[in-house]
Amino acid sequence: MSARDLAVVTRFSGRLFWRDRTALSTSVLLFLGLGIGLPFMMDKVRPGHPEFLLNQHLGVLAMVLVLTTFNQIAVTLTARRDQLVLKRMRTTGLSDPAILGGEIGSLVVQSTLLTAVVSVALYSLTGLPAPRDPLLYLVFVVAGAAVLCLLGTAFTAIVPRTELAAVMAMPVFFLAGVGAGGFGPVLEILPGWVGTVLGLLPTGAVVEAAQAAYAADGTLAGDLRAAAVPALKLAVWGVAGLLATARWFRWETRRS
């Protein structure tokens, strides 16, 4: 896989994404609307509680990140598979890793930019402070987005047709929201083991690392220790996604 091929597919995927009105409304607008709107509303309901606001922000961020990564790539790749776009792309000389890597790279870049927009908006409109360690925050947003995209790519193997992709991917959105606290303190009324299981999701790793990035009394050594477990979780999910994609990903519909 050459860097040039990867860049070509990334640009191609990005252009198609920004021309797709459905993708813009279900991905970008929801990301911005929920990512900014819910924490902003909670800040007005409970002003002067920065810890509550931070938890709400990170929970919603983890939830909407699933929309622009896992859900979006599942819909996109299923549609291009069923329309035989992926099959035609393989005949151009592009390698399989370049095709999938470009699709993933495009959504990772877009998700990271949307996260930046949401974060800056909340820093300006609410009492949410900026992270003490923005690099740690950025690294885990990018890594989490990449892993979620990879898992969404593997997920397309069980999606029979394009019309069902969004519906079948939606449970991941809800589970991520519940586990990260995006829907509020739902876990408090559920058995303890539910929170433990949902905490193993990639979004749980992103939230854990982000909390360390916001910790006021953190140090470099403390950040590295705090990032170790979330990094391990993402690495395990990433390897699982790679293996599942290599084994089961389909380049064309079964009906062809």
Percentage with pLDDT > 90 across the chain: 54
Count of Cβ atoms closer than 10 Å to residue 76 Cβ: 26
Residue 255 lies in a domain: no
Q: What are phi and psi of 131, to 5 degrees?
A: -65, 145
Residue 205 lies in a domain: yes
Residue 191 lies in a domain: yes
Q: Which of 207, 69, 225, 229 is nearest to 150 (CA)?
A: 69
User: For the chain, what is the domain count?
Assistant: 1
Domain that residue 237 falls in: 3-248
Q: What are phi and psi of 100, to 5 degrees?
A: -70, -40
What whole-number distance in Å separates Cα of residue 49 and Cα of residue 220?
A: 26
What whole-number distance in Å separates Cα of residue 140 and Cα of residue 209?
A: 7
Residue 256 lies in a domain: no
Query: Averaged over 237-253, what is the pLDDT?
Result: 94
pLDDT in tens, 149-172: 999 999 999 999 999 999 999 999
What whole-number distance in Å separates Cα of residue 150 and Cα of residue 144?
A: 10
Given a cut of 70, is residue 32 above it in pLDDT?
yes
Beta-carbon contacts of 132 under 8 Å, excluding residues fewer than 6 positions away, are 213, 214, 215, 216, 218
Residue 9 lies in a domain: yes
The pair of three-digit structure tokens given for residue 114, joined into one six-digit string: 């949307």
Band (pLDDT 50/70/90 cuts) for residue 256 is very low
Residue 253 lies in a domain: no
Beta-carbon contacts of 205 under 8 Å, excluding residues fewer than 6 positions away, are 140, 144, 229, 230, 231, 233, 234, 237
> For residues 195 and 153, which has the higher predicted lDDT (pLDDT)?
153
Residue 145 lies in a domain: yes
| pTM greater than 0.95 | no
Given a cut of 60, is residue 191 above it in pLDDT?
yes
Residue 240 lies in a domain: yes
